[in-house]
Every structure is written in C-alpha cells, then in structure tokens.
Amino acid sequence: MNPLIQLQDDLTALLLANPDTASVPFTSYRREVLHSVQEEALAAWKSRVAGKIGLSCLVMMPSLRVVTPNVPGPQYDLSIVIRCLHDPRVNNTGLSAEDVAMLNLRWLDGQTIGGQTQLHGDDHGQALKPNYGYKGLLVYDSVLVGPMPQDISGRTLDPVISGGPEVTLSCADSQAQIFYTTDGTAPIPPANASDPANTAQLYNGPFQLPVSGMLLSALAWERTKLPSNIVRAVVTF
C-alpha cells in the first residue's frame, strides 16, 4: 500500500482509539470519497455513541514538502489535517469543534506512523486553525507534521565511457544496466521497449562509432536503486 494511504488509515484508527473523543466519529476523507460514504457534516450525521450527534472528523489527504532534495531521493516533511465539523444546532456531545481539535493534537503528538514518521503539531504554520468554508458549521483543522524519509538504497554509480572508435561502457554497480544514445538525446530507459520515440539503446558490449567527434550519452540503472546521473562525452579518435 502507498505509505500516504497507509498514513491516513493509521491516523484514523489512532483517533478512533482516543477515549476523550469517543463521541466523535472519525472518517478517512479518501475512503469517504472512494466509497461514497455520506458522513460529512453536510450529510446525515453518524455517531459512535448512541444519542450523540453534531460532531464529525475527517482525516484529510496528506501533503508533502521537500526539505532535502536528492540525497539520494527527496526527503520529505509531510503535513496532514484532521478536520472537525461542528453543527451547533444538533450537537449534544458536550464537546465543541475547538475541544475536539485540541484533543486531536494532544492525542496524536509524538505518535510514530510506519516506524519512521513521528507526528507533532505544525511548528511553522498554524497547528490549529478555523476553516470558514462550511456555511452554518463551526470547523477547525488540526495540522500535524512530521518527517517522511524515503526508503531508497542509493543512486546507481555513474557509468564510465572509454575507448574509441570501439567504445566500452562500464559501471561499478555490477547489476546495473547501461543505456546510451549517440544522437545527443537523453538515454532514458524506455518504459515500452518498442516505443520508436525513444532512441536509448541497452549496452550489450563494445560497439563501433562510425565517425570521430560523436556525442555519447550514457545512464546506468540498478533496479533496486535510483538511476545514475547522465554522463556525456565527445568521443574522438
């Protein structure tokens, strides 16, 4: 499962376990959309405690901010909103939108998701903020943030171009495939090997260049890693 989808499911489960907000229903926004579940404040209210209505919470879809690019692979800070919707006309839980929003912050602070993302209230923006987009309802967003390091084993080492007119390509990553072009285009591995728009060729052994001064571009890719940098050289002989 995509870690961002898992994050929403895990947070929803965590919030449902908080006894201080036992009267408040929590729903994953993503699952609500996918399953067309009408549990938002503008639809019929649903409660986990009999007779308690007027409050509901949605775990919104997370967003990511790149904090350290290409080390290798971007390292992210994620941000996710828990939205509390309060209808004061029917609410009899004894809790307000402000109450639930603060309880959500307190309950989730320090929680670790997926073994690597420790959540805390947003310390760069507003950890608790009103949302005025719902006419007739009192709505508060609790904003949680945390690091989301990428599980990437590294970048493939750069290929080495040598020789001429017989050219040899090599890579210190023994399992890497090497792709190359001789027309100046980027040697991007084709998703579809039969795609005529992609001129990258898979290196299978030394090859001859017809004339001196050709621009050779090469990229190595070990499939459990990120691709290497593109290496270019004008081969003269």
Q: Is the pTM above the cut of 0.85?
A: no
Q: Is the pLDDT of residue 120 over 80?
A: yes
Higher pLDDT, 186 or 220: 220
- C-alpha 117/C-alpha 71 separation (Å) is 18
For residue 87, what pLDDT is reported?
85
Amino acid residing at 92: N
In whole angstroms, how large is the CA radius of gyration of the chain? 27
The model's confidence at residue 44, banded by pLDDT at 50, 70 and 90, is: very low
* DSSP secondary structure, 169-200, as one string: EE-SSTT-EEEEESSSS--PPPSSTT-TT---
| Residue-wise pLDDT tens digits, 100-110 | 999 999 999 98
pLDDT at 45: 44
pLDDT at 159 > cutoff 90: yes
Domains within the chain, CATH numbers bracketed: 3-148 (3.30.2000), 160-235 (no CATH)
Q: What is the mean pLDDT of the chain?
A: 81
Per-residue pLDDT band for 12 (boundaries 50, 70, 90) equals confident
∠171-173-174 over CA atoms, to 5°?
90
pLDDT higher than 90, residue 203: yes
79 CB-side CA count, 13 A: 15
- pLDDT of residue 180 exceeding 60, the answer is yes
